[in-house]
A and B are shown apart, each in its own frame.
Chain A
Amino acid sequence: MAIHPPSARQIRNALQVGFAGFLATGLFLLAGPEATRIDAFYLVYGVARSLLPTPEASLKAARARVVGTLFGGLVVMMLIQALSNWLAVGIGYVLVKLLGRRLGLDQATLMNAVLMAVLLVAIPDYRDLGGLYVLYRTGWHLVGLMLGMAVERLFWFTPLLQRLERSESALIAQLQDLLNQEPAERAPELISAYASHCSLRSIVLKSDQAAMLGTPESQQRQEWLERAVRHGVARQRVPLQLASIDADGCRDALRQLASIGGVA
């Protein structure tokens, strides 16, 4: 297993998680033993599940946990009225999967639903609590997840558009760096970087900031960037004697990109 020294961004993320955990534990202690008697440690479970590499990933994971826990709890709560032995786990699993897919729930949500089903059936204390346990587990998780997402927004938060601009700048720097070197079959890294940039752009296009990318300048920027990447990738692939065509094409596209305004 290779050891990678954590980046500055990862260290900041670790500090954020630690701080959110600190707040959650403070809340846990403040609430007192009466309020926290039903598994309030799930508060910190929620924190540990938040603050993922991007705010979108954190939100998606939070939604999957909350919806999945409620859905799995609901299905198994009805099932254990009729069946309370090991058979209920298998039947509960199958029901959760089939019903969940029919309802269009994603894999992460279904996994959380199955987890809830297993806990309800396999642990007698939880089975006895029934619906109350489902509500407490969901509630504590929800508070923890919200605390995590609040800390995510409070410290070192980078708005979506700014992330896209940084991604574009990094891509341009990568292209310029490659232009200053001899072609060396480095097309895959450029393809990966551009794919990441495009997926970030598609997130912005789905957000309330989509209008910022709809201006003619922004669309032109994207077209020139695309052209620069196409030539940059081709330059890594073509025979050496023909590489200058794509080098010129890439430089020209980057020059055009530098001369126009608009948002990345």
Chain B
Amino acid sequence: MTTTPQLALVLRNGLLLMLSLAAVDRLGLPEGLFLALAILVVLEADLGGGVIAGRERVIGSLMGLLAVVITAGITLILPLPARVFSGLLLVRLFGFAAGLSSGFIVGGHVVAGSLLHHPDNWWYYAFWRTAMTILGVLIGVYISRHLYSQRSVSRWREQCCSWTGDLADALRHLNDIPERERLFLDLRERRNALRRSLPQLIAEQSVTRSRQDSVRWAQEVLQHCSTVMSCCRDLSALLQHQPVLTPALRESVQGLQRLGSERLTTLGQTIAMQTSAHHDAWSRLRLALNDAVEDLLQTPAGTESGSDNSEHQQRRLLASRLLLLSDALERMPCSPPNRGVAH
């Protein structure tokens, strides 16, 4: 994200925080501070991240309320430290059972605030804190969706395009990649970062209810591009140790590099870029590659038995990676759905 949108976001959130606190004060809402905080928690991230943060906060608060009710209601005869023990224990167990990753912290705060700060009116505090949190999250998600909306899917696609662009470059220069291991390590780290962001896309799609399935597109891109990445890494090493390729195979590999890198580069573009001429060229390449690979596997071995076996293994591995690469490039989705999503 560039500096200007970041500043605009900070200004948006600052203004909304001020307005929400003023409104809460004017309306005299019970425990209204938690409404403003819940709005802020959602707005601090993009829409998908905000939905996840809001969900953690809501479920965490509900678990905290439940733990307080059980602890304060049933274990009233116990001394305070034992009640806090029971409350914090329960909130973690409930949180883990609900699959929370951080919401149990807020749940613990509900327990601590109720039992230690509001021991005489814990029900009022815990109930209204939870109610205001739920309301705040709902308002926050609504605002995040409609006011200067920052979509996880747009950021994801931007990062994905940069990744596939570098992958295309690696494929194009397969035989001559300086610092090969480092390059592929970097590409793998970036792939892992994209994988880690998938929950945000899923959460975002759950509130936008978009008919365009961005999540499936992202999953397919990750699946096939990961295969392309692994094949490029293995092929770049194999081609260095396999200098003698038949002319047909060399031509097929070059075609695969050229068409494959074009396909990766156009991944983020519209479907109109994928012309019928491109499809024809691709079909011809697949046929030529299959024939060349078949010839490669049938080439007679040398004379020494030990190196024969190793050479045969290398050839099989080369054939496997070439077929896998062409298959992954062919199955790659063409263009992302709904290119015109809000940023």
Smallest CB gap from A110: residue in B:
B44
B301 at the interface (CB under 8 A from A): no
Number of A residues with CB within 8 Å of any CB on chain B: 66
CA of A2 to CA of B96, assembled, Å: 11
CB < 8 Å: which of B40, B88, B92, B98 contacts A1? Answer: B98
Contact: A195 with B192, CB < 8 Å? yes
B230 at the interface (CB under 8 A from A): yes
Contact: B13 with A93, CB < 8 Å? yes
A-contacting 9-mer, from B109-117, B139-147, B268-276: B109-117
Within 8 A of B (CB), among A180-194: 187-188, 191-192
CB < 8 Å: which of B81, B192, B226 contacts A22? Answer: B81
Contact: B226 with A118, CB < 8 Å? no
B195 at the interface (CB under 8 A from A): yes
Contact: B324 with A111, CB < 8 Å? no
Residues from chain A with Cβ under 8 Å of B87 in the complex? 21
Contact: B89 with A15, CB < 8 Å? yes
Contact: A18 with B80, CB < 8 Å? no
Residues from chain B with Cβ under 8 Å of A249 in the complex? 317
Within 8 A of B (CB), among A83-97: 86-87, 89-91, 93-94, 97
Smallest CB gap from B81: residue in A:
A25
A-contacting 9-mer, from B15-23, B151-159, B167-175, B257-265: B15-23
CB < 8 Å: which of B15, B33, B80 contacts A90? Answer: B15
Smallest CB gap from B104: residue in A:
A48
Contact: B230 with A41, CB < 8 Å? no
Smallest CB gap from B317: residue in A:
A245
Residues from chain A with Cβ under 8 Å of B197 in the complex? none
CA of A86 to CA of B226, assembled, Å: 51
A136 at the interface (CB under 8 A from B): no
Q: Report how many A-B pairs have Cβ atoms within 8 Å.
A: 180
A219 at the interface (CB under 8 A from B): no
Within 8 A of B (CB), among A32-59: 39-41, 44-45, 47-49, 52
Contact: B84 with A4, CB < 8 Å? no
CA of A4 to CA of B227, assembled, Å: 32
A225-264: CB near B (< 8 Å → 1, else 0) gives: 0000010011001110010011001000000000000000
CA of A10 to CA of B94, assembled, Å: 11
A115 at the interface (CB under 8 A from B): yes
Residues from chain A with Cβ under 8 Å of B17 in the complex? 89-90, 93, 114, 118
Contact: A239 with B108, CB < 8 Å? no
A29 at the interface (CB under 8 A from B): yes
Contact: B81 with A29, CB < 8 Å? yes
Residues from chain B with Cβ under 8 Å of A233 in the complex? 230
CA of A260 to CA of B99, assembled, Å: 39
Number of B residues with CB within 8 Å of any CB on chain A: 64
B341 at the interface (CB under 8 A from A): no
Smallest CB gap from B222: residue in A:
A188
B3-16: CB near A (< 8 Å → 1, else 0) gives: 00001001101110
CA of A204 to CA of B84, assembled, Å: 35
Residues from chain A with Cβ under 8 Å of B107 in the complex? 48
B306-342: CB near A (< 8 Å → 1, else 0) gives: 0000000100110111011001100000000000000
Smallest CB gap from A41: residue in B:
B116
Contact: A234 with B36, CB < 8 Å? no
B105 at the interface (CB under 8 A from A): yes
Q: How far is the CB of B62 from chain A (nearest CB, A)?
A: 10
Residues from chain A with Cβ under 8 Å of B37 in the complex? 115, 118
Residues from chain A with Cβ under 8 Å of B148 in the complex? none
Contact: B99 with A4, CB < 8 Å? yes
CA of A97 to CA of B159, assembled, Å: 24
12 contacts between A and B (CB under 8 A): A6-B97, A10-B92, A21-B81, A28-B116, A41-B116, A45-B113, A48-B108, A93-B17, A188-B195, A191-B192, A191-B195, A195-B192
Q: A11-B93, A21-B108, A44-B112 are in contact. List 19 more A-B contacts (CB 8 A).
A: A4-B96, A4-B98, A10-B92, A10-B93, A18-B84, A18-B92, A21-B112, A41-B117, A45-B109, A89-B18, A91-B14, A93-B18, A94-B11, A97-B13, A98-B7, A123-B33, A234-B321, A237-B227, A249-B317
Interface residues of chain B, those whose CB is within 8 Å of chain A, are 7, 10-11, 13-15, 17-18, 21-22, 25, 33, 36-37, 40-41, 44, 59, 80-82, 84-93, 96-99, 102, 104-105, 107-109, 111-113, 115-117, 192, 195, 223, 226-227, 230, 234, 313, 316-317, 319-321, 323-324, 327-328
